[in-house]
Structure 1
Amino acid sequence: MAPYDASGPNVNGIEPRWTSSAKSGVGTALSPACRIWFTLSHGILNEIYYPRVDSACTRDIGLIVTGPDGYFSEEKRDTESVVTTVEDGVPAYRLINTAIDGRYRIIKRIIVDPMRSSLLQQISFEPLEGTIHDYRLYLLAAPHLVNAGYGNTGWVEDYKGTPMLFAAGTGGVSMALAVSGGWRTASAGYVGISDGWQQLQKEARLDPAVARAVDGNVALTGEIDLIGGSDTVTVSLGFGSHSKEAGYNALASLQAGYDGAERSYVADWRAWQDGLLALDEPRAPPPEVNRYRISTAVLATHRPLSFEGPAVASLSIPWGFAKGDEDLGGYHLVWPRDLVETAGGFLAAGASQDALRILAYLRVIQEEDGHWPQNCWLDGEPYWSGIQMDECAFPILLADALRREGVLTGDLLLSYVPMVESAARYVVVNGPVTGEDRWEEDGGFSPFTLAVEIAALLAAADILEIAGQTHNADYLRQTADAWNDQIERWTYVSSDAENAALGVKGYYVRIAPPEIADGSSPADGFVPIKNRPPAESFLPTARVVSPDALALVRFGLRAADDPRILDTVRVIDAQLKCDLPQGSLWYRYTGDGYGEHEDGGPFDGTGIGRPWPLLAGERAHYELAAGRPEVALGLLKTLEQSAGQGGLLPEQVWDQPDVPALGLALGKPSGSAMPLVWAHAEHIKLLRSLRDGAVFDMPPQGVERYVKNKMTAPFVPWRFNNKLSQLSVGKRLRIEVMARAIIRWSVDGWASASDTETSQNGFGIHVAELSCERLPKGGSIAFTFYWPDTDRWEGEDFSVSVVETP
């Protein structure tokens, strides 16, 4: 065999990439003894995670078939794959991969050993042309043991006399591959230079001299012996903190056998699912697969039993085939928002203790000041640096949901009061302006974030009142009332020429910048998360439409038949609805750039947003709230039919004609994340809502307070991070600052003035109310600040004009 070229800039392997995010299966064992999570795509294993669900250890593991006359066939590219579960809804998989040229078939069963950190594949090779002696079968594995491609070392070695393929990362994690009957030949080389794929392409055999590749992007290749024994073999992949532990786990699982491990694996899953609510009752016509059980399995697969509480957003890296080591996180991170949505899915399915464990985890990773990171690793270390106000409010809603379900009561409830109080403090101090909206993009006033914040303040008030904090509870309710009064002023606009033909008077926009451009006062302490031009100059030229406005109904702040909501729905459907073979889906918002390019090329920081199945679930909940369960049921079917092979729900689907070369088909999953756990949680909640005949997760406080009783606040709040410029007739002006102040104010253009001192409340906010409710329309109130603690005046006057109530 010719020597391999080890010169040049890529001596340690070509630049690594991840793989397809369009998964057809995800799985793990429901056992703390095993710390492996796996994914499937294109008929092979993709990312495998160990020892934590946020740490990817492989790119992929697949098979290569060679034969006479230079025959070379790669399983993931050259076969058509059919994926099923061995039992309905249990994430143990049977794959049938048939060669496109009709020459062979590979049948695989894949599970994780519940007893130890090993993954097992039972592989059968069936020649469809010729005999088994005409073919040679190789397993090719790409270790990414440091959550990245570079920094891996691979080698060939025996463990206790059993030949194995080993790899280790610079961080200490190791893996070992063993096969029943032993590897016939084996190799460890650098990807794109000396790996087994290159060897088989060039020489049709492995070179035993290429047996070690150090500190690079490496690949392991082993030949499965088809001639010396059965056409069915078991491949065991063991992991450990060092190579000997990995070898032990691989061999122990191999010796224990596949069949017993599968029985135990399936039994554990079936026992857990049997304890759930029967939301999978037959529908007419019945689905081809039990999508409810698939969704519950997706939720449970994305959490670690050995690290109680968290769940990652997705075991995938969106457009991973175009991303390399720079994308360490992918979607295998914890987003507090997604995690609360996941908890809601568990709660809807009757798994209340699973939801409670999520709340316990959130309590642990809450930051000292009360907020939660935008996203983080399992141990709470932030990954991105942003702060999103809805993510700071969502855990409060989870606590209250568990309280109302009777799970969080008595002393257990009281133990969570510090968490709720701290989170509520962060929200009232830094809200209502969001750091970024729920899509991690623009900051400002968002209907979605406002709805979550207000609902959370009301929920926190109930919890604090139970704990005897009456004054704090009253303040939270007053703040919620005041913010609720301002929703239309902050996010609702009059109709424009573009929507005139729809016959609407106005609509809610996706996000509106705060009315502040100059930041906060040095003596104030409120932190303006983003500085933007005044809303009056922004909205007429940048009216972005989004289904996010329906959160005002979902979280109980507005009635489903509110004329403003009805008009907004018309605008949403006119601008964002996309009719696909499975039914109607919606885009996130006008001008969305998160998705494939026009030609189908992967998102690379720019692109075109595609429809989200998740939004069909949210729209179905709106329709149910509006009293149209038949429409909601139709949207449920659309949501379910947007799934890929294996029943997994994607983040987005392709909305253009098919692009076969890129694997894109109209209405089918795009290259975004799949599965999206949030979408599966929404699916479960929708099933529960349809069964109950009411929106399962709608907080009741806002419905009672605003929809039924039409409560409003007697004041309007002014803050340095929310400098309102208008005050409705009959309202008082409440000033809220973060330091002791004396407010000098005037209602007659400074011809006379009054001084009012602030008082500090239980959240550390200094509050003063100015009695200006008798001012007529057209009047104004001017004021400034003296800061006693620093003995200085603010040096600027502020004013608020009095207008008619909109």
Structure 2
Amino acid sequence: MVDGSLAPGRPGIAARWTSSAKSGVGTALSFRSPLWFTISHGILNEIYYPRPDNACTRDFGLVVTGADGGFWEEKRDASHDIEAMEKGVPAYRLANKALDDAWCIEKLILSDPARPCLLQEITFTPLKGKIADYRAYGLLAPHLVNAGMGNTAWIGEYGGVPMLFATGRGTSLALACSLPWGARSAGYVGVSDGWQQLRASGRLDPDFRRAEDGNVALTAEIGFSEDARTAVLALGFGDTSDEAAEHAIASLSQGFDTAAKAYLSEWREWQAKLVPLDRAGPSTALDPYRVSTAVLATHRSSQPPGAAVASLSIPWGSAKGDDDLGGYHLVWPRDLVETAGGFLAAGDAEEALQILGYLETIQQDDGHWPQNAWLDGAAYWPGLQMDECAFPILLADALRRAGHLPEERFQRFMPMIEKAASYVARNGPVTGEDRWEEDAGYSPFTLAVEIAALLAAADLLTLSGKADAATYLRETADCWNEQIERWTYVENTPLAVEHGVAGYYVRIGAPDTADAASPKDGFVPIKNRPPEASSLLVRQLVSPDALALVRFGLRAADDPRIRDTVTVIDALLRCDLPQGPLWYRYNDDGYGEHDDGAPFDGWGTGRPWPLLAGERAHYELAAGRREEAERLLGALEGSANAGGLIPEQVWDGEDLPDLELLHGRASGSAMPLVWAHSEHIKLLRSLKDGAVFDLPPQGIERYVRSKTISPYRSWRFNQKTASLPAGKLLRIEVLATAMVRWSLDGWATVHESETQEKAFGIHIVDLPIADADPGASLVFTFFWRDAGHWENANYAVAVLQSSSTSPARE
């Protein structure tokens, strides 16, 4: 029976999330327990149910009061130590000691494998005085589901058991305790919640029993005594409050030790199946490899299987409210494929196969994947990344080459692969933003992924008996590969002169609407950019993304252009920190804290990324410098926190302890970043194998060894090339049957050529202009056969002097 006594202050202050700097993340390896939890500052933060994209709490910690008016908040007024209960298992032992040495709180935290219930075994020890001098209160902030506003909390009971409840958006929670509750309260955050009451008067108001439709909090005194210093708190979840209460009571009834035994056993069994990539370290309790594998497994979903979020965190969460529903607990197809690569490197091929199967279910009808999405596949951001459309192809091919996807199995995925290859071939190489979700244009990283994916798809299509489609994909890959330098490589710029190099790859090049401002002129225009943004590009933006040309097999590690680019990258983007060198994403990056430490609010200053040390280490290994790769592995691992979690970015400024920003340690960005942990696992595997683990072999063979070049340049309506070198054919590619009328002498002589359907609904014709002299101008138009009308526009392509720059220059 719910008491109707309403707390004052509805709806409370504006809801906010909490720190993204997690010290622990965990879940049970059981489909019966769809619950994920996070820890920072010695307390629980977001708890997710029934999927890892549904955050249901802000935080859950303790407040302690003293007989002499003392007031301590566990997360603010104590030191915090954390360690895993067992190596490789995300169950945690926490020790929180009051900064004035008044008391110590020890916790064991894990989830019940038998049901969606979070368990804390809490021991309270007074270090000054006796236990009767203190009162300890549990303080829980529900944020059901992905929102802090619009929740209702109340004090009640279930089956005669006193409990605390909350509900919102069709999900409920219930909190029970193994010791008798003392005073209990429900209130509005910032006005009448338990923290406010205890801070003001040292007691809870018994009349505050319900808080409706607002930013709410629940508070209750834990009945610690001299004879009972340990309590178990059970936080159950369900579709209804009754279901949540049943789960909490059932967990309490079976006991913490029973749940812990099953939880530890399941994780121990899973870890035992993995490839042993462990390295001896200074701590026997913390094995970075096992932490990384646990991070990957903790971020996956049981329903739907194969889904995994990018991070169980909300970057700069304390400054984010209900308008940031997703945080990083969303699916990014790119990150998901990188996660699959980590599982594959660790020896869990079945999990990588499940990820491929999940990607199949959320692929859009036209073949692309959302930029990011909820676990049910519903798009969150509206953008498009072409590399995210190509990555799943590479995953399928990697599984096939490793023997985990034999023909009878990979044929199931061929419709997905064909649709993805079709989308990339029809819409690439420029459509969409770069991998950092920002500018549209030619990105070395995206180009590398697209081209590698086309070659991989061609192999899969060949095995499926579709030789014509495979040939078209290889021809398209060849054409794009040959133009990577034209699109993204610059020479003789002030930056090149300053650093004593011939040139370098830029972060992103212009859409190929004309050759009037070629990258080789030292300026990379981006259409639809404001003048102030274009001025940044005049100074040339560079990025470690260029190393993807090596990582995906399109250029040799010792290619002079790659080496020169590394020189510029290191001059502009390298940051030497106590753990070793890390790199910024690109110069003038705005994703990070402000220089005064204020949180990112749509703009800021980009900080160094540990992930990029892993990518650089893979480049060094490809270049034959194993010792340097080992050193960079140390920088990557050295960027982790005490719990072994690797952040998205680290702080590169002077220490700002009041903002918890310390030089070389985690910034307020996402932590852990699953992609970084996957890169860590792949680097360990690469070092063990003596070769880059996820390097696709097709590009190496075709472009580095065989030095394949393309006989043509292509023209499309979404890529109207304005010129081509003398000696090349011009391939016209359109999406309907057409007759192309063309001339090389201003229509004095007219030629007509018919298109032929090649593959994927693309109709092509190769215009035989290889003998045209430099300086000639090709003009052409279309008669659309099916529609029966002329294009009513002429298009022109200039024939230029043949370039001396080879795509495979040694």
Q: What is the TM-score with the length of structure 1 in the denominator? A: 0.96
Aligned residue number for residue 602 of structure 1: 599
Q: CA–CA distance in 2 between the matches of 1:727 and 1:156?
A: 75
Q: CA–CA distance in 2 between the matches of 1:268 and 1:91?
A: 11
CA contact (8 A) 1:730 1:775 kept: yes
Corresponding position: 1:129 with 2:128 = yes
Aligned residue number for residue 503 of structure 2: 506
Corresponding position: 1:694 with 2:691 = yes
Measure how far apart 1:288 and its partner are. 6.7
CA contact (8 A) 1:514 1:531 kept: no
Q: CA–CA distance in 2 between the matches of 1:212 and 1:118?
A: 23
Aligned residue number for residue 143 of structure 2: 144
Measure how far apart 1:795 and its partner are. 2.5
The one-letter code of the counterpart of 1:242 is T
Name stretches of at least 5 consecutive residues in structure 2 with no aligned partner. 516-525, 806-810
Q: CA–CA distance in 2 between the matches of 1:263 and 1:539?
A: 57
| Residue pairs, 1:8-47, within 5 angstroms | 11-47=10-46
Aligned residue number for residue 682 of structure 2: 685
1:519-546: CA deviation from partner (whole Å, max 9, x where unpaired): xxxxxxxxxx986799xx9997252100
1:562-605: CA deviation from partner (whole Å, max 9, x where unpaired): 00000000000000001111111000001100000010000000
Corresponding position: 1:73 with 2:72 = yes
CA contact (8 A) 1:495 1:507 kept: no
Aligned residue number for residue 270 of structure 2: 272
Q: CA–CA distance in 1 between the matches of 2:447 and 2:345?
A: 24
Aligned residue number for residue 182 of structure 1: 180
1:408-442: CA deviation from partner (whole Å, max 9, x where unpaired): 11221111111000000000110000300000000
SS class of match (1:189): strand
Which stretch has the larger CA shift, 795-804 or 382-391? 795-804
Q: Which runs of 4+ in 1 moved over 3 A?
A: 4-7, 285-288, 529-534, 537-540
2:566 to 569, 573, 580: 569
CA contact (8 A) 1:516 1:533 kept: no
| Residue pairs, 1:117-516, within 5 angstroms | 117-169=116-168, 171-227=169-225, 229-282=227-280, 289-516=286-513
SS class of match (1:401): helix
Q: How many residues align?
A: 787
Aligned residue number for residue 50 of structure 1: 49
Corresponding position: 1:546 with 2:556 = no
Identity of aligned residues (%): 64
1:770 to 743, 767, 772: 767
The one-letter code of the counterpart of 2:130 is T
Q: CA–CA distance in 1 between the matches of 2:74 and 2:317?
A: 19
CA contact (8 A) 1:516 1:531 kept: no
Q: CA–CA distance in 1 between the matches of 2:455 and 2:7?
A: 66
Q: CA–CA distance in 1 between the matches of 2:278 and 2:527?
A: 45
The one-letter code of the counterpart of 1:728 is P
Corresponding position: 1:61 with 2:60 = yes
Q: CA–CA distance in 1 between the matches of 2:539 and 2:188?
A: 51
Q: CA–CA distance in 2 between the matches of 1:728 and 1:762?
A: 26
The one-letter code of the counterpart of 2:148 is G
Measure how far apart 1:17 and its partner are. 0.3
The one-letter code of the counterpart of 2:747 is W
Measure how far apart 1:306 and its partner are. 3.3
The one-letter code of the counterpart of 1:97 is N
Q: CA–CA distance in 1 between the matches of 2:330 and 2:589?
A: 23
Q: CA–CA distance in 2 between the matches of 1:306 and 1:395?
A: 20
Aligned residue number for residue 552 of structure 2: 555
Aligned residue number for residue 719 of structure 1: 716
SS class of match (1:164): strand
1:148-167: CA deviation from partner (whole Å, max 9, x where unpaired): 01111111111111110011
Measure how far apart 1:793 and its partner are. 2.4
SS class of match (2:12): coil
The one-letter code of the counterpart of 1:74 is E
SS class of match (1:710): coil
Measure how far apart 1:792 and its partner are. 2.8
Aligned residue number for residue 710 of structure 1: 707
Q: CA–CA distance in 1 between the matches of 2:57 and 2:227?
A: 29
CA contact (8 A) 1:513 1:532 kept: no
Which stretch has the larger CA shift, 730-739 or 271-280? 730-739
Aligned residue number for residue 112 of structure 1: 111
Measure how far apart 1:5 and its partner are. 11
Residues 1:219 and 1:6: Cα distance change in structure 2 (over 3 Å)? closer
SS class of match (2:38): strand
CA contact (8 A) 1:5 1:193 kept: no
CA contact (8 A) 1:57 1:144 kept: yes
The one-letter code of the counterpart of 2:499 is L
Residues 1:143 and 1:540: Cα distance change in structure 2 (over 3 Å)? closer
Q: CA–CA distance in 1 between the matches of 2:491 and 2:390?
A: 29
CA contact (8 A) 1:727 1:801 kept: yes
Corresponding position: 1:635 with 2:632 = yes
Q: CA–CA distance in 1 between the matches of 2:699 and 2:11?
A: 60
The one-letter code of the counterpart of 1:223 is E
1:336-375: CA deviation from partner (whole Å, max 9, x where unpaired): 0000000000000000000000000000110000000000
C-alpha root-mean-square deviation of aligned residues, in Å? 1.8
| Residue pairs, 1:733-744, within 5 angstroms | 733-744=730-741
Measure how far apart 1:70 and its partner are. 1.3
CA contact (8 A) 1:545 1:572 kept: yes
CA contact (8 A) 2:6 2:207 kept: no
Residues 1:539 and 1:581: Cα distance change in structure 2 (over 3 Å)? closer
CA contact (8 A) 2:713 2:728 kept: yes
Q: CA–CA distance in 2 between the matches of 1:707 and 1:318?
A: 40
Measure how far apart 1:781 and its partner are. 1.7
Measure how far apart 1:282 and its partner are. 3.0
The one-letter code of the counterpart of 1:146 is V
The one-letter code of the counterpart of 1:743 is V
1:169-207: CA deviation from partner (whole Å, max 9, x where unpaired): 1x2211011111221111111111111111111111111
The one-letter code of the counterpart of 2:150 is G
Measure how far apart 1:789 and its partner are. 2.7
